[in-house]
Amino acid sequence: MSDKFKALLINQEGENFTREVKFIDKSFLKHGDVLVKVDYSDLNYKDALILNNGAKLVKEFPHIPGIDFSGTVLESDNSKFKKDDEVILTGWRVGEIYFGGYSQLARVSGDYLIKKPKNISSKQAMILGTAGLTALFCSFAIKAREEILLGEKVKDVLVTGASGGVGSVAVMILSKLGYDVTAVTGKVENEGYLKSLGAKNIINKTDLDKDPRPLDRGLWDGVVDTVGGKILANALAQTKNNGIVAACGNASDYKLNTTVMPFIIRGVKLWGINSVTASIKRREFVWNEVKNLINFDKLEQSIKTISLEELIDIYPKMLKGETSGRYIIDLNK
């Protein structure tokens, strides 16, 4: 393979922030002990923020963003990986403080990689990416009510922000686990798609985006919340005795105005989900559960495969809330 490859570079000089797709030399890659030929990456909300202005996450410029990628090992100085291994990377501050996946080549620490399960493709790995991994962690947190806390069987589960990348995958997984899923969305046009993923009921986000009571009628055994703010506060107030709320996002608001009542009166558990630095052992476990829980034929109905060049036009729409489903970047396009 040529030492020249295509990458999306962001740069900041004074007040001038730029993003450009260009060919660069392999010598530009300065981190890590494993060189990967990248097949696919994806677009997450954090990626869109970084593409917009660095989001105070990128400390050095010029920089290659992209927090996820899948591909094939070309060179390795790490004993865990060898040439031609197929690998997945999500999180670990890659694309933030380390060069990321918006590039045909990526050099990263082998400590951040896992071997791709043989029963999913490289593209399917990025159809999930950080969003899918987070949805898996959230779903297993809900399942923990039965398995770790030895509580009653989970039946009714609420998923907020259900039209988004994390929410839509969580709807599918939780339905596959046998739960009755109620999906919350502000996008009426997505209701049919959410029902096709397994949602039993749909409610509009305006029903939850209001000042909460300290305690409300208990409706949910578990909640996957991707938005935060008043919606999370209402979800907590509506969670049944010993329920679990898995919180993983702040698209609505990073502030949470609630009381201790759900926690001390009903024993509700608020479980924060951080997939960025989750252990390799946890990652390997959930990635190996993917084939049992994900119907990629259904998910691909909402997948749009784009090039690096197209990505520059798409990310502003995500920041404005004008996108739905997942965007996959084909680094061979």
In the CATH hierarchy, which top-level class contains the domain 4-116+295-330?
A: alpha beta
pLDDT the model gives residue 326: 85
Q: Where are the beta strands (DSSP E) in 130-237?
A: 156-159, 180-185, 201-204, 220-225
| Positions of E strands within 188-294 | 201-204, 220-225, 239-247, 269-272
Identify any residues that bridge with 20 across adjacent strands, giving them in sequence order: 9
Tokens linked to 264: 């001390």
User: CA–CA separation, 173 vs 304, rounded Å?
Assistant: 21
d(CA 213, CA 23): 56
Count CB atoms within 10 A of the CB of residue 23.
Answer: 10
Burial of 182 (0-12, 13-18, 19+ CB in 10 A): buried
Instruction: Give the pair of three-digit tokens for residue 299.
Output: 């998910």
With a threshold of 0.85, does the pTM exceed it?
yes
Q: Where in the sequence of the chain do the CATH 3.90.180.10 domains occur?
A: 4-116+295-330
Distance CA 250, CA 231 (A): 10
CA distance 233 to 224: 12
Kindly state the DSSP code that residue 117 receives in the 8-state scheme.
Answer: P
- The tens digit of pLDDT for each residue in 100-125 reads 999 999 999 999 999 999 999 999 99
Rounded Cα distance, 35 and 52, in Å: 27
Q: What type of residue is 84? A: D
DSSP state of 215: S
Cα 253 to Cα 326: distance, rounded to the nearest angstrom: 22
Residues of the chain with pLDDT under 50: none
Give 110's DSSP letter. Answer: G
CA separation for the pair 205, 223 (Å, rounded): 14
131-272 is classed in which CATH architecture? 3-Layer(aba) Sandwich (3.40)
**CATH code 3.40.50.720 region(s) in the chain:** 131-272
**In whole angstroms, what is the distance from residue 264 CA to residue 271 CA?**
15
Amino acid of residue 46: K
Q: Which amino acid is at 199?
A: A
Structural Rg of the chain based on CA atoms: 20
Tokens of 328: 């996959």
Confidence (pLDDT) at 1: 55
Residues 113 and 57: their CA atoms lie apart, in Å, by 21
Q: How many CB atoms lie within 10 A of CB 310?
A: 16
